[in-house]
Amino acid sequence: MSGNKQDVLWSPIHHDKFIVWGQDITLYEVARLQDIEKRSTYTQLSSTQGATVVASQSGSGVRCVDISAIADHPDPLLALGHNSGRVTLTSLKQTYDPLGLVGREFVAKYPRPCISVAWNCTESSLLAVGMEKHRSDNCILLWDVQSSGLDEYDESSPTPSEPARPLSGVGKGETAHSVAWCGFAPRTIVASMNLKHIKIFDLRENGDKASATTSSRLNLGAVCEAGGWRLATRGDAGACVWDARALAAPLLTLAMPRAPRRLLWCPTRRNLLISLQRDSSTLRLHDIQQVHDHQSQEAFDGVSEEAETEPCGRGALERDVWVCGAPLAAFACHPTRRACLLVLTAAGALSEYTVSERVSLSWGAGGALAWAGGGALRRMHPAFYSQVRDVAHVMRERASTDYGLKPDLWQNADLADDEALSGLWHFLALSKSLVEDGCIRNSPWKHPGVRGVLRSPGEGYRSEAAATLLPDLPSRKVTTYRSAERTRALQLCGWGWGWDSAGAGVERAEAEGTPCRAAALAAFHLRLRAALDVLARARAPALRVAALALAPCAGAGAADERLWREALAAAAPALPDPYLRALLHFLSAALPPSAPQPHQPDYSAVLNETEMRLEDRVAFACIYLPDGPLHEYLSRTWTELRARGSLAALLLSGVSADGIGALQRWLERSGDVQSAALLAARCAGAELLRDERVRGWLAAYRSLLDAWRLWWPRCLLDTWVAAAGGGGEGAGAGVACTYCGKPVAAAATARPRPAFARLPPPAAKMKQISSCPNCRKPLPRCGVCSLHLGTGAAGGPAPAPPVPPAPPAPAPAPAAGAAAGAHFGGWFSWCVACRHGGHAAHLLQWFSEHSECPVSSCTCRCSALDPPDPPEVPSAPAAPPGSVAVPSGGDS
């Protein structure tokens, strides 16, 4: 029977040693793989750890094993219970034995198989032994290995082989199938008896009587939770959890499809019971849940008290973990290492397994990720964002630099730190200036795009084709197209019309360090000489070589030209720079092989150089393509860019209804709601700002700014939106008269009405008003100074505490207090809970010393309604989203 019994046990004190017990009893020592000597054989437990065999002995005749917790023993001390009834102590390895325990034997009076041994963990010299039934002997014997050992030496008894006597024994005439020490009381044992009972014996009392007993079909292998009152037993149909204080009925019955072979409480985590079923390759974890504290102290929730009398206040979360795929024979929990299991498969292989507990995690608005695992909270290091560029982090960085809020559009381009975005801001600045200068008229949008400027051919629009001479090649002509619309489109693309404006562009491109682009621009304007000069000045030798390719066309004879053209066509794709390729394609297409008759050159190779900037391609098309193909090219490019969600599509659409669609696509692709919202706030008109999508962007970005506590950028954003006619939603707080319900501040601003010019309202002349300008009823009084709100707070006796300046542009205009231009200290301010209020400065001063409302007999703790301010912020900020100091109603 013991032949196929396999088990694995960790030493409770030697945390790197365990035994495997089957045919043999083998002691293993665990070490990191790199610390194990190369030659020695080891069993790999995990990716980092291995176990080496320290010692081994035959396990024949051994019925049960336990490892002692005696602390000062150099190697694990084992108690072996034999079939013969003897219990022997051994350490498997011949080492120094300070206590003289190795080799000691404890023999029961009447020999019969010994079924179970258990060392006490706290009083480490105590050993409990459970035995088969004998009618005149106890089945549970308690030995004290040290004192009975001392007896032997002290008495120096003449017959040292005289058997030591057990300290005590219980259970006469019964069978103890398993014994285990209880964690809740010293010298208390729980035992499974007679295949019928679970009994708890308190061995401090003398007597054979169990202190608690119950009978159950699930009565085997009782184990007790360390430091808790709960017991677990197993049986054929599953397992049971008991409360040792109320053993009458089980707390919980855990049904299992197959009989559990082993049951253990996890020593490192409360409430976790681990079971292994027979022939199973999975371990089952039972997270025992129990509603504690049945007598609720809080009297007011009487409902829950009543509910707790029902018996269903407990349960278990069960989970199967798959360890290594093979059927398992045994497992052991590491005594201290968290959730570390050692499993032994039926085939005898060992492996280590870490039970991973539920790791819960959460992202903070600031970009920090926190997670809780293994009893600790961990946080992602902020340096993560230097490695992974995430748009949330980028947006926050940008927001703190007032990105998108600078007065001039082009100023935002540098803050964007992104090529496509900064190009877009530059384009918008350009289109704005073109509209303002009157170059582009009749555009329904503030920022028209190329497609808006070029009308489709169907609208009776025709451009004029002209044969243009090449200044450097007098004999050649190239057909170009021009019209007023094309000129505007070229301006939008930043090219301008004619060499006068384009020449500056070439110089700029060269100065920017893109000589290829400069050369291509020059060539597209038919200035081949200039293109050659640019390439000749280039630093990179490869470009100067490229100039060689251009040279023949400037002066070659017609005879060589075909050869040159073929060479160009072959060489162009190999060139690294798209502009150089485009340049060569252009030359080979534009210069017809001395055919005088007009033909339509094929520029598709140039236009398909998608690595060229979109504006250059579009501008090229605007010069060289006739109306039909131009329109078709633009439509095709637009569809393609829009489908791809590219920001460059805005060059074609401008900020229009189409452009909003393109921005939406780009936003979905990039997640950059910031730029979308800012572009809309700055460049879209009132009509576009009413678009559902745009309002969604603005709302999302506002909420982001709020979450980042970036109030001022949010205020500026609201200002821009309000200025563009989008309405100041989100900051809609106002002060209204409690009697007539009309806004107090709006009346003051609506003052100069010509119809009433003869009868100016009194408020017009006063710096501050103390009554409603509509109904003349007085405004409420300040709780501190007892003057009417609206009267200046500056007259107050105390110096105002350091108040941060009001937001630069008080976008929520009505919130600026009753009288326009009132100092911040004179603003209306009140608590939304008790509705008492006063001058902001007075309240700040009051709450710096008090926590209760200044109005007598009001016990509202107005100042405590807000969360504590983060430490880096000074103690008296304007705290916009709080409940104090935000106007939202009119009464006081």
User: Under rule CB under 8 A, which residues in 10-39 are in contact with another protein?
Assistant: 15, 32
The letter for the amino acid at 337 is R
Q: Are 52 and 29 in contact (CB under 8 A)?
A: yes
Q: Are 706 and 714 in contact (CB under 8 A)?
A: yes
Kindly tell me which residue out of 54, 164, 372, 809 binds another protein, with binding defined by CB under 8 A.
372
Beta bridge partners of 86: 107
User: Under rule CB under 8 A, which residues in 871-890 are in contact with another protein?
Assistant: 871-872, 881-883
User: Under rule CB under 8 A, which residues in 112-131 are in contact with another protein?
Assistant: none
Q: Please state the closest distance from residue 51 (CB atom) to another protein, in A.
A: 14
Residue 414 makes contact with another protein by CB under 8 A: no
Kindly tell me which residue out of 611, 750, 798, 821 binds another protein, with binding defined by CB under 8 A.
611
DSSP summary character for residue 399: H
**113 vs 107: CA distance, rounded Å:** 11
Q: Please state the closest distance from residue 169 (CB atom) to another protein, in A.
A: 38
Residue 605 makes contact with another protein by CB under 8 A: no
- Binding-site size, another protein (CB under 8 A): 120
**308 vs 251: CA distance, rounded Å:** 14
DSSP summary character for residue 782: P
Residue 537 makes contact with another protein by CB under 8 A: no
User: Under rule CB under 8 A, which residues in 652-711 are in contact with another protein?
Assistant: 664, 667-669, 671, 673, 676-677, 692-693, 695-697, 699-701, 703-704, 706-709
3-state secondary structure 606-649: HHCCCCCCHHHHHHHHHHHCCHHHHHHHHHHHHHHHHHHCCCCH
Residue among 269 and 476 whose Cβ is closer to another protein:
269
What 832-835 contacts at long range (C-beta under 8 Å, 24+ apart), as own/partner pairs, is: 832/865, 832/883, 832/884, 832/886, 832/888, 832/889, 833/860, 833/862, 833/865, 833/883, 834/858, 834/860, 834/862, 835/889, 835/891, 835/892
How far is CA 164 from each of CA 347, 827, 845, rounded to the nearest angstrom? 40, 92, 83
Residue among 115 and 392 whose Cβ is closer to another protein:
392
Q: Please state the closest distance from residue 835 (CB atom) to another protein, in A.
A: 10
Q: What are the φ and ψ backbone dihedral angles of 739, each rounded to 5 degrees?
A: -90, -50
Kindly tell me which residue out of 105, 155, 348, 384 binds another protein, with binding defined by CB under 8 A.
384
Residue among 335 and 743 whose Cβ is closer to another protein:
335
Residue 356 makes contact with another protein by CB under 8 A: yes
Residue 576 makes contact with another protein by CB under 8 A: no
Question: Which among 86-94, 105-113, 416-424, 807-815 is the span making contact with another protein, rule CB under 8 A?
Answer: 416-424
User: Under rule CB under 8 A, which residues in 417-446 are in contact with another protein?
Assistant: 418-420
Residue among 32 and 758 whose Cβ is closer to another protein:
32
Using alpha carbons only, how large is the chain's radius of gyration in Å? Answer: 44
Kindly tell me which residue out of 72, 459, 500, 849 binds another protein, with binding defined by CB under 8 A.
849
Residue 380 makes contact with another protein by CB under 8 A: yes
User: Under rule CB under 8 A, which residues in 752-781 are in contact with another protein?
Assistant: none
Residue 315 makes contact with another protein by CB under 8 A: yes
Binding mask 390-409 for another protein (x = CB under 8 A): xxx--x--------------
User: Under rule CB under 8 A, which residues in 789-848 are in contact with another protein?
Assistant: 832-833
Q: For residue 451, which of 502, 492, 505 has the smallest C-alpha distance?
A: 492
Residue 44 makes contact with another protein by CB under 8 A: no
Collapsed DSSP state (helix, strand, coil) of residue 135 = coil
Q: Which residues contact 196 (CB under 8 A, 6 or more apart)?
A: 215, 219
Q: Please state the closest distance from residue 760 (CB atom) to another protein, in A.
A: 40
Question: Which among 43-51, 129-137, 220-228, 481-489 is the span making contact with another protein, rule CB under 8 A?
Answer: 43-51
Residue 98 makes contact with another protein by CB under 8 A: no
Residue 511 makes contact with another protein by CB under 8 A: no
Residue among 186 and 671 whose Cβ is closer to another protein:
671
Residue among 59 and 404 whose Cβ is closer to another protein:
404
Q: Please state the closest distance from residue 270 (CB atom) to another protein, in A.
A: 5
Q: Please state the closest distance from residue 370 (CB atom) to another protein, in A.
A: 5
Q: Are 887 and 735 in contact (CB under 8 A)?
A: yes
Kindly tell me which residue out of 5, 269, 455, 742 binds another protein, with binding defined by CB under 8 A.
269
Residue 333 makes contact with another protein by CB under 8 A: no
Kindly tell me which residue out of 113, 373, 792, 877 binds another protein, with binding defined by CB under 8 A.
373
Residue 367 makes contact with another protein by CB under 8 A: yes
Beta bridge partners of 189: 181, 201
Q: For residue 700, which of 740, 735, 673, 681 has the smallest C-alpha distance?
A: 673
Residue 227 falls in which region: left (phi positive, over 0), alpha (psi -120 to 50) or beta: left
Residue among 204 and 850 whose Cβ is closer to another protein:
850
Q: Taking the C-alpha atoms of 158, 163, 165 and 170 in order, what is their torsion angle to the nearest 10 degrees?
A: -170
Q: Are 416 and 675 in contact (CB under 8 A)?
A: yes
Burial of 598 (0-12, 13-18, 19+ CB in 10 A): exposed
Cα atoms in the 13 Å half-sphere on the side-chain side of 634? 28
User: Under rule CB under 8 A, which residues in 612-651 are in contact with another protein?
Assistant: 613-614, 641, 645-646, 648
Q: Are 341 and 324 in contact (CB under 8 A)?
A: no
